[in-house]
Amino acid sequence: MTDSVLPQSLGDSARGDRWKPNRSLSKLTQKLIVLLFGAFAFVSVATTIGIVLTLIFETIEFFLEVSPWEFFTGTRWSPTFANPRFGIIVLLCGTFLTSVIGLLVAVPLGLLSAVCLSEYAPRSLRAWLKPALEILAGVPTVVFGYFALLMVTPFLKTFIPGLSTFNSLSAGLVLGFAVLPTIASLSEDAIFAVPLSLRQGSYALGATKRETVTGVVLPAALSGIVASIVLGVARAVGETMIVTLAAGQSPTLTLDPRSAVQTMTSFIVQITKGDAPYGSIEFKTLFAVGMTLFVITLVLNFFSFWFVRRFQEKYE
């Protein structure tokens, strides 16, 4: 450190001549740095504000042309046709179908993996299994899309009659494996954090390992587990490439997992892949759909916050 020992206001020290600290400069630097970094920190807030404003602005434009009644109750979706229809239910249904299939895979497998990693796997094996799950989490979703469309669908076709080339089943299954690491990793953290004393209390009552896990440890980790599942739901709802590639682009109102559907996200990709001109109804529709998606994730987020706050137990 080049700066010194005593400021001038404390009086000249015996060695005063040899120390020339530039206090005002270093204080100024600090002020500027704090200002700059504060502005940087504001960027992330601005991102949220930007997202909200962008979506609101174009959504209002959208609703000036399309009645909210049609948007929320219509059962047909064809915004690019000559006679456009805007029933968001169709896209919601597609998103619902692929997400539910995905979560049926991701939630049980993710939770059981978390239990296994935390309670059953020996430490040495755990050191290999966790990174393997991290690799799964790091696979780009477009690669999962390739996997779903070109490997899983042909495989499923061999024993599921009537499975179309694009279908929500294959997209949902692969989506589940893409979401699994999120749920497994966050749940594992929560389960691992349950204090040893609770486990001992359970064993001392004559509980077996499984009874301790499902009767004491999982309930004790509940808030963390629910938070991980909610984040998994948000990922599944917002996932784009797998469903775009494997579930197709046909907006039909169906719950048949063998047929093609269109999700909110794959609609956005379909429109932006082409060149939707600014100001066109297609362009505004993008943002109305985006707004719907954003509101869903926001609701999920608030639920997660509320749940964690309400049910988180503090252990010493």
Partner 1 sequence: MTVNSEQSPQLQETKANFNPNLKGRYRFDRVFKTISWIATFAGIVVLTVLLIGILVSGLSSLSFDFIVNPPSRKPEIAGIWPPLIGTICLLVITALFAFPVGVGSGIFLEEFSEDNLFAKAVEINISNLAAVPSIIYGLLGLFVFARIFEPVTGGRSLLSGGLTLALLILPVIIVATREALRAVPDSLRLAGMALGATRWQTVRSHVLPQALPGIMTGTILALSRAIGETAPLIVVGAATFVPFAPELSIKGLQSSFTAMPIQIFSWVSRPQDGFHEIAAGAIIVLMLVLLVMNGSAIWLRNKFQSNR
Partner 2 sequence: MQSQTSQSSPVVDTERVFHVQNTDYYYGSNLAVRGVNLEIPGNKITAFIGPSGCGKSTALRCFNRLNDLIPSAHIKGRITYRGVDIYDKQVDPIELRRRIGMVFQKPNPFPKSIYDNIAFGARINGYQGDMDELIERSLKASALWDEVKDKLQNSGLSISGGQQQRLCIARAIAIEPEVILMDEPCSALDPISTLKIEELMHELKENYTIIIVTHNMQQASRVSDKTAFFNAEATEKGGKVGYLVEYDDTQKIFSDPQQEQTRDYVSGRFG
Contact 192, 114 (CB under 8 A): no
Distance CA 266, CA 290 (A): 11
The partner residues of 86 in beta bridges, in order of sequence, read 77
Asked if 293 is part of the footprint of partner 1 (rule: CB under 8 A), the reply reads yes
Using rule CB under 8 A, residue 307 touches partner 2: no
Asked if 115 interacts with partner 2 (CB under 8 A), we say no
Residues 49-78 binding partner 1 (CB under 8 A) are: 50-51, 54-55, 57-58
Question: Which one of residues 165, 200, 272, 298 is an interface residue with partner 2 (CB under 8 A)?
Answer: 200
Q: Which does 281 bind (CB under 5 to 8 A by kind): partner 2, partner 1, none?
A: none
Q: What beta strand segments (E) does the chain contain? A: none
Per-residue x/- track, 122-141, partner 1 (CB under 8 A): -------x--xx-xx-xxxx
Task: Closer to partner 2 by CB, 156 or 207: give it.
Answer: 207
Tokens of 215: 């009767």
Q: Work out the angle between the directed axes of helices 23-65 and 281-311 (0-180°, nearest 10).
A: 120
Residue 215's binding partner among partner 2, partner 1, none (Cβ under 5 to 8 angstroms by kind) is partner 2
3-state SS assignment for residue 140:
coil
In the complex, least distance from residue 217 CB atom to partner 2, rounded to whole angstroms = 10
3-state secondary structure 157-207: HCCCCCCCCCCHHHHHHHHHHHHHHHHHHHHHHHHHCCCHHHHHHHHHCCC
Residues in binding contact with partner 2, number by CB under 8 A: 22
- By CB under 8 A, name the one of 53, 205, 255, 295 that touches partner 2: 205
Among 22, 75, 208, 312, binds partner 1 (CB under 8 A): 208
Q: Is 9 exposed, middle or buried (0-12, 13-18, 19+ CB in 10 A)?
A: exposed
Asked if 166 is part of the footprint of partner 1 (rule: CB under 8 A), the reply reads no
Task: List contacts with partner 2 (CB under 8 A).
Answer: 195, 197-208, 211, 215-216, 219-220, 222, 313-314, 316
